[in-house]
Amino acid sequence: DTGVSQDPRHKITKRGQNVTFRCDPISEHNRLYWYRQTLGQGPEFLTYFQNEAQLEKSRLLSDRFSAERPKGSFSTLEIQRTEQGDSAMYLCASSSEQNTEAFFGQGTRLTVV
Amino acid sequence: KQEVTQIPAALSVPEGENLVLNCSFTDSAIYNLQWFRQDPGKGLTSLLLIQSSQREQTSGRLNASLDKSSGRSTLYIAASQPGDSATYLCAVRGFGNEKLTFGTGTRLTIIP
């Protein structure tokens, strides 16, 4: 098992463009989380999936953000019409139902210019 | 609303010293608490997970304690090494709540 994998590691985009990030969780984990981290801050919760069901969304997740987890495996996070304020590290984590220890990926660093 | 605080924001100590990092949280009704390490520009590495029923957990040179009633946790690092230099984050999970609430971290520098 290679742990939680995120792709791409870095993304630079122009304001107004759409971007999509991918997260592959640890294979036996049915829970998947997205967090956002800005410089000097701790990660902030965005959304949570149990299998393919999106069970919780933060108010931080505006209408421009959408996340999916088809078939309960990998997940995608899409940001439409990106703004400079969206520049951050987007982190994905996974855990199992039996052991709630969260394991994080290396993150996707988004820069909106 | 749960709030997590980590003080100090930054700490520098000479190599070989033992040190303690602090974490406090406002709502004591937590399910568990997790300590993470983050290197610059990288993701988070899980160090220790303490369930609400536990008082401490140990892994190698690391020992984490939990005092739920006072809303505090400490991470003790023994015999510090330059490779321990990183930002250390604590996070709590509440009951019936899947999200982790993080502190802003303590940036630790071990001076060779």
- Is the N-terminal amide bond of B112 cis, ω within 30° of 0? no
Cβ A40 vs Cβ A18: under 8 Å: no
Cβ B21 vs Cβ B11: under 8 Å: yes
Residues of chain B neighbouring A58 (CB-CB closer than 8 A): 99
Q: pLDDT tens across B45-82, in order?
A: 999 999 999 999 999 999 999 999 999 999 999 999 99
pLDDT score of B22 more than 70: yes
Selection from A94, A90, A44, A47 nearest residue B1 by Cα: A44
Beta-sheet strand order (sheet of A75-79): A5-7, A19-24, A75-79, A65-68
pLDDT score of A77 more than 70: yes
Would you state the pLDDT for residue A1? 54
pLDDT score of B97 more than 80: no
Question: Is A106 within 8 Å of chain B by CB?
Answer: yes
Question: Is A58 within 8 Å of chain B by CB?
Answer: yes
Mean pLDDT within B81-93? 97
In chain B, % of residues over pLDDT 90:
95
> Measured in whole angstroms, how far is the alpha carbon of residue B23 from the centre of its chain?
6
In chain A, % of residues over pLDDT 90:
88
Selection from A69, A78, A66, A73 nearest residue A108 by Cα: A78
pLDDT score of A72 more than 90: no
Would you state the pLDDT for residue A52? 93
Would you state the pLDDT for residue B95? 82
Cβ A101 vs Cβ B34: under 8 Å: yes
List the single best residue of B47, B98, B102, B104 to mutate versus A (max A Cβ within 10 A). B98
Q: How is residue B78 written in tokens?
A: 């023994």
B104 phi/psi in degrees, rounded to 5: -90, -5
Residue B96 confidence class, pLDDT cut points 50, 70, 90: confident
Q: How is residue A16 written in tokens?
A: 């107004």
Would you state the pLDDT for residue B12? 97
Selection from B54, B62, B59 nearest residue B108 by Cα: B62
Q: pLDDT tens across A17-57, in order?
A: 999 999 999 998 999 999 999 999 999 999 999 999 999 99
Residue of A nearest to B91 (CA): A42
Mean pLDDT within A78-83? 97
